[in-house]
């Protein structure tokens, strides 16, 4: 088991995993992507268009930005 003391909680981990999966798909040249995760809260925050004011908002903004690189991202 690996513990990273810089990650606050499961929501942060899920958001970071979404960012990393989107970045990997982009680097591999995919044009369509489907992102799955265990946290419905994180997925819904990424899908919403309104400003996110939660403590993981920076991750949400990054995930939304990366998602725009694909033709039709599915969450």
Determine if residue 65 is left, alpha or beta; phi over 0 gives left, psi from -120 to 50 gives alpha, anything else beta: alpha
**Domain presence at residue 29:** yes
Distance, CA of 61 to CA of 53 (rounded, Å): 10
| Residue 27 tokens, joined | 């680097």
Position 72 pLDDT exceeds 90: no
Domain count, the chain: 1
Q: Please list the alpha-helical segments (H only) found in the chain.
A: 10-27, 40-47, 57-67
Prediction pTM value: 0.85
Boundaries of domain holding 24: 10-74
Considering only the C-alpha atoms of the chain, give the largest distance between any 2 of them, rounded to a whole number of Å.
36
pLDDT per residue over 4-63, tens digit each? Answer: 666 678 899 999 999 999 999 999 999 999 999 889 999 999 999 899 999 999 999 999
**Domain presence at residue 2:** no
**Domain presence at residue 5:** no
């Amino acid at each position: 088991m690996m513990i990273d003391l810089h990650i606050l909680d499961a929501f942060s981990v899920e958001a970071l995993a979404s960012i990393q999966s989107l970045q990997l798909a982009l680097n591999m040249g995919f044009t369509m992507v489907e992102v799955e995760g265990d946290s419905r809260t994180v997925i819904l925050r990424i899908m919403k268009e309104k400003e996110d004011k939660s403590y993981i908002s920076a991750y949400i903004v990054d995930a939304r930005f990366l998602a725009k690189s694909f033709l039709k991202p599915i969450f």
